[in-house]
Amino acid sequence: MYRRELLGSGDLVKVNYTSSIVDDAEIFKYVIAALIVHVNELERQGVLSGDEAGRVREALRGIYRDGYRPGEGFEDVH
């Protein structure tokens, strides 16, 4: 977990206090949509090939279909 590494592994209270994992359920679908738009632009600019962009979009759609399930060991969505 990124915040645990940033804040130190010894203080789970700090990590939990600064986490927005539970609140992120409200913005999950919007974050996925924004990431897909970002991938589209990276493809348009030639940073990603059509095949690469397609694979990333499909992975993001899979994450969207699976839904947001917060839990221990997961970083927040943004």
What pLDDT is attached to residue 24? 77
Nearest to 3 by CA among 15, 12, 21: 15
Render pLDDT for 4-56 as a digit per residue (tens, 0 to 9): 555 555 567 766 666 666 677 788 899 999 999 999 999 999 999 999 999 99
3-state secondary structure of 22: coil
Separation between Cα atoms, residue 55 and residue 67, nearest integer Å: 19
Q: Where are the domains of the chain?
A: 2-66
- 74 phi and psi angles, rounded to 5 deg: -105, 140
